[in-house]
Chain A
Amino acid sequence: MKYLAQRVIHAMALLLAISFFSFALLQLAPGDYFDSMRLNPQISSQALAGMRSQYGLDQPLPIRYERWLTALLHGQLGVSFASRGPVGPVLRLRARNTLVLSGTATLFAWLLALPIGIWSATKRNGWADRFWGLATSALLTVPDLVVFLGLLLLAIRTGWFPTGGMRTEATDGLGYWSDAKDLARHLILPALAVALVSVPILIRHIRAAMVEALESPFLRAARGHGIANSRLLFRYALPAASNPLISLAGFSVATMLSASALAEIVLGWPGLGPLLVESILSKDIYLVVAIVMLSSVFLVAGNLLADLLLFASDPRIRVE
Chain B
Amino acid sequence: MQRVPFWNYCVFVAAATLSIGYARAQSHPAEEPMVAEVSSGHAGGRLVLAMRSEPKTLNPVLAQDAPSRDVIRCLTADLIHINRGSQKTEPALAKSWTASRDGRQYTLRLRRGLRFSDGQPLDADDVVFSFQVYLDEKIDSSERDLLVVGGKPISVEKVDQYTVRFEMAQPDAAAERLFDGIAILPRHLLEGAYRKGEFANAWSVSMAPAEFAGLGPFRLKEYVPGQRIVLERNPYYWKEDGSGHRLPYLDEVVFLFVPNEDTQVIRFQAGDADILTRFSAENFAVLEKQQAAKHYHLDDLGAGLEYNFMFFNLNGVDPKAQPEIARKQEWFEDKRFRQAVSEAIDRDSIVRLVYNGRATPLWTQVTPGNRLWVDPAIAHPALSVAHGRELLRSAGFSWKSDGSLQDSHGRPVEFSILTSSSNAQRVKIATLIQDDLSKLGMNVQINSLEFHTMVDRLLTSHDYEAAVMGLVSGDADPTSEMNVWMSSGDTHLWHPNQTQPATPWEAEMDRLMQQQLVELDHSKRKRLYDRVQEIVADELPVICLVSPNILVGASDRVGNFHAAILDPYTLWNIDQLYIQ
Q: Which residues of A contact B224 (CB under 8 A)?
A: 172
Q: Is the CB of A47 within 8 A of B474?
A: no
Q: Is the CB of A43 within 8 A of B226?
A: no
Nearest CB of chain B from residue A148's CB, rounded to whole Å: 15
Q: How far is the CA of A172 from the CA of B225 in the complex (A)?
A: 12
Q: Is the CB of A44 within 8 A of B56?
A: no
Which chain B residues (17-71) contact chain A, with CB distance < 8 Å? Answer: 48, 50, 56-57, 62, 64-65
Q: How far is the CA of A172 from the CA of B226 in the complex (A)?
A: 12
* Interface assignment of B414: CB less than 8 Å from any CB of chain A: no
Nearest CB of chain A from residue B517's CB, rounded to whole Å: 14
**Contact flag A167-B140 (CB < 8 Å), given A31-B453, A44-B145, A85-B204:** no
Interface of A is mostly: loop
* Interface assignment of B456: CB less than 8 Å from any CB of chain A: yes
Q: Which residues of B contact A166 (CB under 8 A)?
A: 226
Q: How far is the CA of A38 from the CA of B493 in the complex (A)?
A: 11
Q: Is the CB of B256 within 8 A of A31?
A: no
Smallest CB gap from A82: residue in B: B56
1/0 per residue, CB under 8 A from B, across A26-68: the answer is 0001111101111111111111001100100000000000000
Q: Is the CB of A38 within 8 A of B455?
A: yes
Q: Is the CB of A43 within 8 A of B142?
A: yes
Smallest CB gap from B273: residue in A: A170
Q: Which residues of B contact A37 (CB under 8 A)?
A: 64, 142
Task: Name A54's contact: one of B140, B146, B226, B484 (CB within 8 Å).
Answer: B140
* Interface assignment of A169: CB less than 8 Å from any CB of chain B: yes
Q: Is the CB of A31 within 8 A of B142?
A: no
Q: Is the CB of A84 within 8 A of B144?
A: no
Q: Which residues of A contact B56 (CB under 8 A)?
A: 82-85
Q: Which residues of A contact B145 (CB under 8 A)?
A: 42-44, 46-47
* Interface assignment of A136: CB less than 8 Å from any CB of chain B: no
* Interface assignment of B322: CB less than 8 Å from any CB of chain A: no
> Tally of A-B residue pairs with Cβ under 8 A?
118
* Interface assignment of B258: CB less than 8 Å from any CB of chain A: yes
Q: How far is the CA of A93 from the CA of B224 in the complex (A)?
A: 12
Q: How far is the CA of A30 from the CA of B458 in the complex (A)?
A: 12
Q: Which residues of B contact A89 (CB under 8 A)?
A: 225
Task: Name B452's contact: one of A30, A170, A172 (CB within 8 Å).
Answer: A30
* Interface assignment of B425: CB less than 8 Å from any CB of chain A: no
Q: How far is the CA of A39 from the CA of B467 in the complex (A)?
A: 14
Q: How far is the CA of A308 from the CA of B257 in the complex (A)?
A: 42
Q: Is the CB of B422 within 8 A of A169?
A: no
Smallest CB gap from A164: residue in B: B263
Q: Is the CB of B491 within 8 A of A30?
A: no
Q: Is the CB of B474 within 8 A of A169?
A: no
Smallest CB gap from A166: residue in B: B226
Given A31-B452, A42-B483; 7 other pairs, CB 8 A cutoff: A33-B452, A38-B459, A41-B491, A44-B145, A54-B140, A163-B263, A170-B272
**12 A–B contacts, CB within 8 A, in A order:** A30-B456, A41-B473, A41-B491, A44-B483, A83-B56, A84-B57, A89-B225, A93-B225, A164-B258, A165-B258, A169-B50, A172-B224
Ranked 5 nearest A-B pairs via Cβ: A31-B452, A169-B256, A41-B483, A30-B456, A35-B455
